Amino acid sequence: MAHLSLSATQADNFYIPSGWDPKEGSLAKFVGNKGRDQFERRGIIRLELPFDCWCDGCSRPLGKGTRFNSTKKAVGKYYSTTLWLFEFKCPSCSSSFELRTDPKNSDYICASSLRRKLVPQQGDNVLYETNYRERDAAQRLAANPINKLERENDDRKRALSTQSQLESIQRHSTKYHQYDADTNSILRERHRTKRKLVQKLEAKKSWCS
């Protein structure tokens, strides 16, 4: 019974070995525990790429969601948020990648040997790249009065073109759906005539045989 009670306390993490003194250090250090996972034991985590990238060393494409064994260390603070640096290697060459967190933009920054795949995104009628290093320049361009006027003119032309297309679709729909009952009656009459003709041909064929 005593053995069962000891096993139960160990399973529930309530077991305290004899000889341990809290003043001399933690319980994990006393029992020689090096950590609960590989990050605590060796400083390694499993990193998943947050976007598509290219290796600058061998030009290998690395898809979003690809997993790597990576080191993780704090490199600073943004207000009260920790800035993290992840280091991992290319599976095809000896290039060492660095990926940093960017809490200001809620994103990541490719710091070394890793090139982010640029994907155009539509925002305020201006194509922004997902590379935030160029985002400030794009924002300045969007705030330019002349550029803003040109965008407004383009929006106005696009709206007129879209309105014309919608009116054409509406006229087409009205033309073909205004007399639904008459169209249905014509189709039913054609089907009825065809069915009677098929029945006559089948009856004639059976009489001849």
Rounded to the nearest integer, the mean pLDDT of the chain is 78
Instruction: Encode pLDDT of 97-113 as tens digits.
Output: 999 999 988 889 888 88
What DSSP state is assigned to residue 118? Answer: P
**pLDDT in the model for residue 205:** 80
| Helix (H) / strand (E) containing 209 | none
Which tokens go with 87?
């280091």
DSSP string, 42-99: HSEEEEE-SS-EEETTT--EE-TT-EEEEEEEEEEEETTEEEEEEEEE-SSSS-EEEE
pLDDT band of 127, cuts 50, 70, 90: very low
Identify whether the C-beta of residue 84 lies closer than 8 Å to the C-beta of residue 74.
yes
Residue 2 has pLDDT above 70, yes or no: no
Per-residue pLDDT averaged across 138-144, rounded? Answer: 73
pLDDT band of 182, cuts 50, 70, 90: confident
Cα–Cα distance for residue pair 84/86, rounded to 1 Å: 7
Stretch among 48-57, 121-130, 143-152 having the lowest mean pLDDT = 121-130
pLDDT band of 83, cuts 50, 70, 90: very high
Cα–Cα distance for residue pair 115/52, rounded to 1 Å: 9
pLDDT band of 35, cuts 50, 70, 90: low
Sign, Cα dihedral of 136, 138, 144, 149? negative
Instruction: Encode pLDDT of 187-208 as tens digits.
Output: 899 999 999 998 888 888 877 7
Instruction: Encode pLDDT of 152-161 as tens digits.
Output: 888 888 888 8
Which tokens go with 75?
């490199």
Stretch among 85-89, 139-143, 165-169 having the lowest mean pLDDT = 139-143
pTM higher than 0.75: no
